[in-house]
Amino acid sequence: MTLDAACLEYPNRRQGYDHDLYAWSNLHERKPVVWPTGKGVAVWVCIDLEWFPITPEDQPFRAPGHMQTAYPDYRHYTSREYGTRVGFYRLLDALAKANVVASVAVNGAVAERYPQVIADIVAAGHEIIAHSTDMNGTIATGLPEADERALIQHSLDALEKASGQRPRGWLSIARSQSWNTVRLLKEAGLDYSCDWVNDELPWRFNNGLINLPLNHELSDRQIVTVQQHSAESYAQQMTDAYDWLSREAKQSGGGRLLPLNVTPYILGLPYRIEAFERLIADLAARPDAWFARGDQIIEAWSASEG
């Protein structure tokens, strides 16, 4: 048995990455980032607000949380709708009670179908990040470039029409990109994407687009749905993360970022919401916490970048 010779050839074995998307850098050696009023930890709540067509498509792949049974999968269709009708409003109320702002990563279809939800987000002072068209709008290599470009445009247009503002940020479904995505997002006029989980502070792709990392390991999807921990354990883990980052910020003199990526149909359930409310209230009371929207974080980071 012999393996194809290509399996022992290493054409990209060189200093730096095996791609040209962005450059390497060690977070602990960068110029310290300064958050407004010298706060230690930027707390970035980012809620995914999604609409799942009852007719799932698998091209390029089926989105996490999508339909699972034979047609018609009323159980998952309505459970996801529950998130948008009920759970999302519990999350909005929790944020309002703590008097903090957040980002909401919204499918274009939500804006087209439920403009009232968009109005409520805008009225509360939250930011809207573009989150594809609907949950069939997945991106991966193999999706024709023209289709991907159209998908990005369609999402931005729908959200702009409903909210009055063109989103500055982008979150792909399942954070999945093709080889073209970074270029297409930049071409579409976006300032940042949230898909790359390789860092804990913003950084720039070589084409100038910013990545604001939305750590999937800290998401309710990962901790509650995938790893099957309780909402109380989730909140404990976020508190532990905050405490660690706060200590690092003090010791290094540089700001840190805690992304809280939450999902209405996961944390917005009656038996889980209290853990989230307590978490937000607890963090909002910390003297070194800066609750901020994604666009505010990249503004502050850009200002201290140069």
Partner 1 sequence: MPQTLNGDPGLYDFSPYRDRPRIIWPNGKTVAVWVAPNLEYYEIDPPANPHRKSWTKPHPDVVGYGHRDHSNRVSHWRMADAMSRHGFPGSVSLSVALCQHHPEVVADANARGWEFFSHGIYNTRYSYGMDEAQERQIIEDSIRTVKDATGQTIRGWLAPALTHTSRTLDLIAEYGLDYTCDLYHDDQVQAVKTATGDLASIPYSLEVNDHYGFFVYNMSPREYADALIRQYERLAVEGEKSGTVMCIPLHAYLIGQPHRIAAFEGVLEHIAADGRAWITRAGEIVDAWRAQQTGAAA
Q: Which of residues 196-215 bind partner 1 (CB under 8 A)?
A: 196-200, 213, 215
252 counts as binding partner 1 under rule CB under 8 A: no
Query: Considering the complex, what minimum distance in angstroms separates the CB of residue 219 from partner 1?
Result: 11
Q: What is the CA radius of gyration of the chain?
A: 20
What is the C-alpha to C-alpha distance for residues 246 and 93, in angstroms, rounded to an integer? 26
- Binding part of the chain for partner 1, among 48-56, 151-159, 174-182, 276-284 by CB under 8 A, reads 174-182
Which of 214, 215, 213 has its CA nearest to residue 202? Answer: 213
60 counts as binding partner 1 under rule CB under 8 A: yes
Query: Considering the complex, what minimum distance in angstroms separates the CB of residue 77 from partner 1?
Result: 25
Query: Considering the complex, what minimum distance in angstroms separates the CB of residue 196 from partner 1?
Result: 5
Q: Which of 86, 122, 140, 188 binds partner 1 (CB under 8 A)?
A: 140
What is the C-alpha to C-alpha distance for residues 1 and 274, in angstroms, rounded to an integer? 59
Q: Say if CB 220 and CB 46 are below 8 A apart.
A: no
Count of residues touching partner 1 (by CB under 8 A): 61
203 beta partners? 211
Phi, psi of 157 (to 5 degrees): -65, -45
Q: Which of 109, 151, 238, 297 binds partner 1 (CB under 8 A)?
A: 238
Phi, psi of 214 (to 5 degrees): -110, 85
Contact pattern from residue 255 through residue 294 relative to partner 1, giving x for each residue in contact according to CB under 8 A and a dash for the rest = ---x------------------------------------
Please, which residues have CB within 8 angstroms of residue 263's CB and are 6 or more apart in sequence?
47, 48, 65, 83, 219, 220, 221
Can you read off the two tokens belonging to residue 231? 């909402």
Phi, psi of 184 (to 5 degrees): -70, -35
- Binding part of the chain for partner 1, among 14-22, 77-85, 159-167, 184-192 by CB under 8 A, reads 14-22
244 counts as binding partner 1 under rule CB under 8 A: yes
- Binding part of the chain for partner 1, among 24-32, 99-107, 158-166, 297-305 by CB under 8 A, reads 24-32
Would you tell me how many other CB atoms lie within 10 Å of the CB of residue 2?
A: 5
- Binding part of the chain for partner 1, among 9-17, 43-51, 112-120, 161-169 by CB under 8 A, reads 9-17
The H or E element spanning position 232 is helix 231-252
229 counts as binding partner 1 under rule CB under 8 A: yes
Query: Considering the complex, what minimum distance in angstroms separates the CB of residue 244 from partner 1?
Result: 5
Q: Say if CB 145 and CB 184 are below 8 A apart.
A: yes
What SS3 class is residue 67? coil
Nearer to partner 1, 153 or 237 (CB): 237
Residues that bind partner 1 (CB under 8 A): 1-4, 6-10, 12-19, 24-28, 60-61, 140-142, 172, 174-179, 195-200, 213, 215-218, 226-229, 233, 236-238, 240-245, 248, 258
